[in-house]
Structure 1
Amino acid sequence: MVAIIYLLITLVTFLFMEVVTWCTHKFVMHGFLWTLHADHHEPKYPHIFEKNDTFFVIFAIPSIALFYFGVSPTLNYLFFIGLGVLLYGMAYFLVHDVLIHQRFKWFNNVKNKYLLALRKAHKIHHKNMGKEDGECFGMLLVPKKYFR
């Protein structure tokens, strides 16, 4: 029974991270930390990293802290919240950096309708080069109109 509860905590955290991502992207990245995110909306330059990659570190810190406090003094629910955050971060990396922006050429010939809709929605997000008037701030939930 405890294993099922921990699995549910991990799953709910993973799903809740989509809400956190949307809010953080809209109000933080396109808000007061635009200086870190702006280069992600600019035409690509020949650097391996962007200032925007700082957000991977920013999001890793709470996950690491949750793992740390989730095993002290014994394994507890915080560990599984940290696991949900970590799994979402891994999914984010695969979807955003590998699939959408193709920073690594692992998925070149994608034909899946959902994955193509993800790409389309993100392309619309990047169509706006500025801080304001953006759309599609999440990652995994795609509005129906992008499936056409």
Structure 2
Amino acid sequence: MWAAVAVTTATFLGMEFVAWFMHKYVLHGALWFLHRSHHVRHPHHFERNDFFFLFYGALSMAGIMYGSDEKSWPFWVGIGIAAYGTVYFFVHDVLIHGRLRFWRKSSNKYLRALNMAHKMHHKTTGRDGSQEFGMLWVSPKYLELARRKPAPVRVADKQVSTSSPL
């Protein structure tokens, strides 16, 4: 059991480096023609960049299927990739980009720092000049900014009185 937890955890953590490397050198490189759709505004629900989910999903599923009989290491690698993909979906697509409307803002300093870093990444709409290519690792400068800058208050969180004090 401990080996399974270790392999799954190592895969999950290793996927952050894989995601950073692929994002910086492949998506902003040879596969920019697919990733570009993620850097420009568009009226569509889906973008060409979404095809990368299929690639990582297939990799995860292959590991799970190949190692499922004995629950060998490929199974747990597949589980680690799937876990990373799940967290990626909720943090990147739901929280940061608001592709589903149930989780829009967070008062958590780490998540706000992550959002700030990602906004800096999207400041450029071209292939070159971006920064902050990771998904879960945040540069310390954004953590410091999130620590100093208070969380935005949503209108629904404020108690607005419509009655007169008289």
Give the TM-score of the pair, scaled to structure 2.
Answer: 0.84
Q: List 4+ stretches of structure 1 deviating above 4 A.
A: none
Query: 2:37 — aligned with what?
Result: 39
Shift of 1:95: 0.6
Q: Which has the higher contact order (CA 8 A, sep 6+)?
A: 1
Name whichever structure is richer in helix by fraction: 1
Query: 2:4 — aligned with what?
Result: 6
Count of matched residue pairs: 144
Task: Report the structure number with the largest CA radius of gyration.
Answer: 2
Query: 1:91 — aligned with what?
Result: 87
The question of 1:56 aligning with 2:37 is answered no
| Equivalent runs, 1:12-27 vs 2, <5 Å | 12-27=10-25
The question of 1:105 aligning with 2:121 is answered no
Shift of 1:109: 3.4
Query: 1:127 — aligned with what?
Result: 123
CA RMSD of aligned residues (A): 0.9
CA distances 1:106-126 after superposition (whole Å, capped 9, x unpaired): 222311100000000000000
Q: Percent identity?
A: 45
Gaps of at least 5 residues in structure 2 are 146-166
**What is the CA–CA distance in structure 2 between the aligned matches of 1:114 and 1:106, rounded to whole Å?**
19
Gaps of at least 5 residues in structure 1 are none
Shift of 1:63: 0.7
Query: 1:141 — aligned with what?
Result: 137
